[in-house]
Amino acid sequence: MSAIQTDSEQLRARVDALADKDAIRALLIRCFREFEAKRSDDEWLRSIFSEDVRVEFPAGTHEGLAGLGDLHRRIEALWDRTLHLLSDHAIELQRDRASVSAVLHATHVHHADSPGAHLHIGGHVDAEAVRSPDGWRLAQLAIRLVWTEGDPPARR
């Protein structure tokens, strides 16, 4: 194999890794943005999560794609609206799997009929992504709170 072929293959591998990391970062961001839009339909869930996904949110834990929409709707109903900011993404690729972490800061706005101080949270997002025939999907997603400030949601 020539030096040019070796350099070309190494460059291709680096480009592929960067493309995978970009796709995984976009997947995580889309997950939170569409959650803010109160998206919980099956089509959306399948575009984000693997069939055997495990999620750990401060408001509940769930395993498997079946029933995950119900958990999302219960969490969404707690708030009038939310805003999630993700930063400091770190993605470690291991072929068709990836470990993902990010820093999360989120604001939760109460419904008008149950006012309170916005609930702000800060924490870490830990996830595992897997490559599927349809692209990358989240197989695990956990929000690990570090701090909270404000009022919790009223029981609805």
Give the pLDDT confidence of 103-131 residue by residue, as tens digits. Answer: 999 999 999 998 899 999 999 999 999 99
Q: Is the pLDDT of residue 5 over 90?
A: no
Percent of the chain with pLDDT over 90: 84
- Identity at 116, one-letter amino acid code: G
Q: What are the residue ranges spanned by the domains of the chain?
A: 3-149
Which class is 3-149 in CATH?
A: alpha beta
Q: Is the pLDDT of residue 156 over 80?
A: no
Give the pLDDT confidence of 59-111 residue by residue, as tens digits. Answer: 889 999 999 999 999 999 999 999 999 999 999 999 999 999 999 999 999 99
Evaluate whether 6 touches 51 at the Cβ level (below 8 Å). Answer: no
Cα(149)–Cα(118) distance, integer angstroms: 8
Evaluate whether 28 touches 100 at the Cβ level (below 8 Å). Answer: yes
pTM: 0.91
Token pair of 123 as six digits: 């924490």
Cα(116)–Cα(110) distance, integer angstroms: 6
User: For residue 53, how many C-alpha atoms fall within 13 Å in the half-sphere facing its CB?
Assistant: 28
Cα(144)–Cα(61) distance, integer angstroms: 12
Evaluate whether 67 touches 54 at the Cβ level (below 8 Å). Answer: no
Pairing of strands 135-149, 49-57: parallel
